[in-house]
Structure 1
């Protein structure tokens, strides 16, 4: 560097420091000045009203509660405030006595702010643009967008949200779920969307899912191998639907985990051989409130063997013809132990009824 350049650089540094506020010496006797964490992490309260910003003293996480919002204009204005630290931990917009009046989430709704956890529940929200959460793609871990009014959700964003573990979209008005592309997603809940449709391959590219809830969505059909690609599946909830027939491989599992499978309150009357396979010892199967009329040995014996345990299969409130056709079951104490006691027979008798068991064993 030439001497002229050095002199010029030194002059610029001098000018820079000349413009800075002068430091004031603090003597040991001077009162200390403390800055509360919220003074650093949150914008001025008036700038984000009616939202409330707090900083966790233990973790330094910055959280926003905007449950008292009136409309979208107010929401947008809040996030136009100057966030010195825009990497927020949590956003909550949750109606209590009535729906929060926000209706649309757009590209500029949240300004430059990002979140790790989002809860938007019981609002008038009817439109969610894919770009609304763009700033949060690298950070988002939990997204709970429930009990709103939207029919469409941009599921394609999952491929860009590499830390997203939990996605709850239950009790909205969703009509369709596209194929989920995620190597991080572990919990998915779309229950309560009463007329929901989805692709047969919906979960093929979401191998880490541990819990899936598709209850109360009007489901009438399970395609073969729908849930065969989850390596750690532990809970599958399909209750309160319209399923009437289980085809071969419809519920084929390859998970190494113990699985809780709930099929209560459907219309299941026919189950093909090998429709339910791959459930590990200790797993549970709930089939209460269906329309089963028979338990063919070639269909059910392997299920009872794989689920051997205490009350691991429930079939209460079905229409089973309890006669010689179930001798294979009532003559095996292990199978009777596996079946939870209920009113499985068409005359509301229990398969565990000693009189029924004695009669079948004597006459069949």
Structure 2
């Protein structure tokens, strides 16, 4: 009996006993060259293929004898001036699966709708920033049951069609310009929390884009060419938005009921625009959605005249204190320190 138990005990001590889990291991380095594999414990295996030159070399690396096809992350970080990787095909990654993919700086123009199909039940983040993607298979999103973050910033996309994903939480398409966003782009993405449309040459917003976005918390339209925020363009079913960014546009007017859905602690930025007046008819609905001490409105670097049109703000301490301390009148005076007594005296017909 003792002779039987001793090997078993040794095996348990060494981690190879009953119920022990064999740790995933990388393939032989020579078989995946120029890709590299390493164990990012405790997350899992990482495949770094930054050294590949083109599609053929990348695909060949994934024909190796893999002890396991399951990887935590795929990385391809290129100098955009030196590589010749132009596309990702259906067969590029063989049987490999990934939880995260980070590909940047390549010459990739198009991605096959099935390029990451083996990862449709494992992929949680797909980061493809800084490539040359003009064709992305948006229609395949609904097959990815765990994909929560899609990063497509600084590519050559021209259209965001209607998306369909029950789990997607973040979409970043910064720097794709000019970019057209279809009117029903977000109707079938009920979990979206962050939409980044910065620097996409937006000139006019469609009404009703976000009327089904029940969880939207961050919406970024900064660095565009917007001249007016029209009524009904930013409307969400819940008061869920904590950050709404319209900074660095050319906005002169925000219309009545243009923005509905701000959380009481939201930060609304309209910095670096061309707003001169804050008429009560158009602006009060925004102020009424915010509450101190966390709600804030940033109108810094606007040519605010601070005339009697803002008496309704100056005479309401809670409204006035919603401004950031960087929000100033055209004469340099901070709005939060404007004197209510002066406005009572000078603007009597308006107050």
1:84 to 1:217, Cα distance in 2 relative to 1, 3 A: same
Q: What SS does structure 2 have at the residue aligned with 1:282?
A: strand
What is the deviation of 1:297?
Answer: 0.7
Contact conserved, 1:320 with 1:345, CA < 8 A, in 2?
yes
1:29 to 1:346, Cα distance in 2 relative to 1, 3 A: closer
Contact conserved, 2:255 with 2:283, CA < 8 A, in 1?
no
> For residue 210 of structure 1, what is the aligned residue in structure 2?
193
* Alignment partner of 1:55 is 2:49: no
Residue correspondence of structure 1 range 43-82 to structure 2 within 5 A: 43-59=27-43, 61-82=44-65
What is the deviation of 1:44?
Answer: 1.1
What is the deviation of 1:247?
Answer: 1.6
What is the deviation of 1:194?
Answer: 2.7
Distance 1:296 1:180 in 2: 37
Distance 1:95 1:320 in 2: 46
Residue correspondence of structure 1 range 159-238 to structure 2 within 5 A: 159-238=142-221
Q: Which has the larger radius of gyration?
A: 1
More strand by share: 2
Contact conserved, 2:70 with 2:97, CA < 8 A, in 1?
yes
Q: TM-score, normalised by structure 1?
A: 0.85
> For residue 282 of structure 1, what is the aligned residue in structure 2?
265
1:27 to 1:216, Cα distance in 2 relative to 1, 3 A: closer
Distance 1:126 1:133 in 2: 16
- Residue segments in structure 2 that go unaligned for 5+ positions in a row: 1-6
How many residues end up aligned between the 2 structures?
336
Distance 2:342 2:8 in 1: 98
> For residue 333 of structure 1, what is the aligned residue in structure 2?
317
Q: What SS does structure 2 have at the residue aligned with 1:153?
A: coil
What is the deviation of 1:359?
Answer: 3.1
Distance 1:28 1:326 in 2: 81
Distance 1:66 1:108 in 2: 16
More displaced 10-residue stretch of structure 1: 185-194 or 132-141: 132-141
> For residue 42 of structure 1, what is the aligned residue in structure 2?
26
> For residue 3 of structure 2, what is the aligned residue in structure 1?
none
What is the deviation of 1:349?
Answer: 3.8
What is the deviation of 1:252?
Answer: 1.0
What do residues 45-68 of structure 1 show as CA deviations (whole Å, max 9, x unaligned)?
Answer: 100011111234435x22211111
Distance 2:22 2:287 in 1: 58
Residue correspondence of structure 1 range 109-128 to structure 2 within 5 A: 109-128=92-111
What do residues 58-102 of structure 1 show as CA deviations (whole Å, max 9, x unaligned)?
Answer: 35x222111111222210110111223212221111126965431
Distance 1:101 1:56 in 2: 28
Q: What SS does structure 2 have at the residue aligned with 1:115?
A: strand
Q: What SS does structure 1 have at the residue aligned with 2:336?
A: coil
> For residue 114 of structure 2, what is the aligned residue in structure 1?
131
What is the deviation of 1:264?
Answer: 0.6
What is the deviation of 1:251?
Answer: 1.0
Residue correspondence of structure 1 range 131-150 to structure 2 within 5 A: 131-150=114-133
Distance 2:131 2:273 in 1: 31
What is the deviation of 1:33?
Answer: 9.1
Distance 1:341 1:131 in 2: 51
1:273 to 1:38, Cα distance in 2 relative to 1, 3 A: same
Distance 2:159 2:281 in 1: 36
> For residue 323 of structure 1, what is the aligned residue in structure 2?
307
Distance 2:268 2:8 in 1: 73
Contact conserved, 1:250 with 1:275, CA < 8 A, in 2?
yes
Residue correspondence of structure 1 range 244-263 to structure 2 within 5 A: 244-263=227-246
Contact conserved, 1:297 with 1:328, CA < 8 A, in 2?
yes
Q: What SS does structure 2 have at the residue aligned with 1:326?
A: helix
Q: What SS does structure 2 have at the residue aligned with 1:130?
A: coil
